Amino acid sequence: MDRSEDGRPTPIEPLNRQSSLGERAYERLRESVVGGQFQPGVKLTVRSVAEALGVSTTPARDAINRLIADGALINRGPKTIVVPELTFEDLAEVTKIRASLEGLAAFESVRHVDSADVAYLEDIQKQLNSALDDGRYSDVLALNRAFHFRIYDLSKMPHLVAIIESLWIRVGPTLNKLYPEFAVSKRGVANHQWAIRGLQDRDGLTVRAAIENDLRDGYRRLSAISSREDDQS
């Protein structure tokens, strides 16, 4: 695994060269950001991203520029790209928007769910529980995203899901702060199990409530951490 400017591994898998490098570079880098693979404040360079993806600097630069336009990265100066950290005000606003939109997608999901979807979510949750127990928080973030977006995709509302993805791009790195503290209470586990039961019963209101509660629990934890960091600074 290649390393970023500060010497830490750059958590991006190399690309398959048979596809469009520019688009694939963007998709891979976006997935890494959305999945919380980068800590807030991490500095990236075009060269480090290019080396991690196994491509030239041109598709790497294009991918970075697109993510800057998405609000996922910030250009802090020549050759200095930073993974942003949400302010308390930003986090509060994004959480309110997410609760509304993701709640809607969750509500609509019961129209199309089947037994295979429920089995998939149960399997993802088992993997997530194992990752929590083992302290593999990078895997936890990836599995959590897979769980949520399987539900959202069931809404069959692609424009809605695209908007939700744009918000996850902004909040993804900040989710790293949930762990290990959030793993102790396992509030997210209870919310996910609640959502699965709602899907089994095809009860849109239950699934919506479970997802909205999941987001609010995460927000409360992140708010407490932010307040504690402010007191220490």
DSSP code string of 70-107: HTSSEEEETTEEE-----HHHHHHHHHHHHHHHHHHHH
**Higher local confidence (pLDDT), 17 or 146:** 146
* Chain centroid to CA 47: 24
Please say if the pLDDT value at position 55 is more than 60.
yes
Cα separation of 174 and 213, whole Å? 18
Structural domain total, the chain:
2
- 10 in any annotated domain: no
C-beta separation of 200 from 156 below 8 A: no
Q: Domain check: are 133 and 191 in the same one?
A: yes
Please say if the pLDDT value at position 9 is more than 90.
no
Report the chain's terminal Cα–Cα distance, integer Å.
34
- 13 in any annotated domain: no
C-beta separation of 5 from 82 below 8 A: no
Q: Domain check: are 158 and 223 in the same one?
A: yes
Q: Domain check: are 142 and 47 in the same one?
A: no
Please say if the pLDDT value at position 66 is more than 90.
yes
- 203 in any annotated domain: yes
pLDDT per residue as tens digits for the range 91-105: 999 999 999 999 999
- 2 in any annotated domain: no
Please say if the pLDDT value at position 16 is more than 80.
no
Q: Provide the mean pLDDT of the chain.
A: 88
Can you give the CATH number for the domain in which 39 is found?
A: 1.10.10.10
Q: Domain check: are 146 and 226 in the same one?
A: yes
Nearest-5° angle of CA 19, CA 23, CA 29? 110
Q: What is the pLDDT of residue 227?
A: 72
Structure letter (DSSP) for residue 7: S
Q: What is the pLDDT of residue 3?
A: 57
* Chain centroid to CA 70: 14
Biggest alpha carbon distance in the chain?
54
Q: Which of 2-11, 16-25, 78-87, 116-125 has the lowest mean pLDDT?
A: 2-11
**Higher local confidence (pLDDT), 40 or 121:** 121
C-beta separation of 3 from 48 below 8 A: yes
C-beta separation of 73 from 84 below 8 A: yes
- At residue 184 the predicted structure's pLDDT band, cuts being 50, 70 and 90, is low
Q: Is the dihedral of CA 45, 50, 51, 52 positive or negative?
A: positive
User: Could you tell me which residues come within 8 angstroms of residue 88 by beta carbon, excluding any fewer than 6 positions away?
Assistant: 223, 226, 227
Can you give the CATH number for the domain in which 212 is found?
A: 1.20.120.530
Q: Domain check: are 74 and 92 in the same one?
A: no
Q: Domain check: are 216 and 131 in the same one?
A: yes
Q: Domain check: are 206 and 130 in the same one?
A: yes
Domain limits at 118?
88-232
Q: Domain check: are 130 and 162 in the same one?
A: yes
Give the pLDDT mean for 78-95: 88
C-beta separation of 75 from 61 below 8 A: no
Q: Domain check: are 94 and 185 in the same one?
A: yes
- 12 in any annotated domain: no
Q: Domain check: are 71 and 105 in the same one?
A: no
Please say if the pLDDT value at position 187 is more than 60.
yes
- 137 in any annotated domain: yes
Residue finishing a domain among 82, 102, 125 = 82
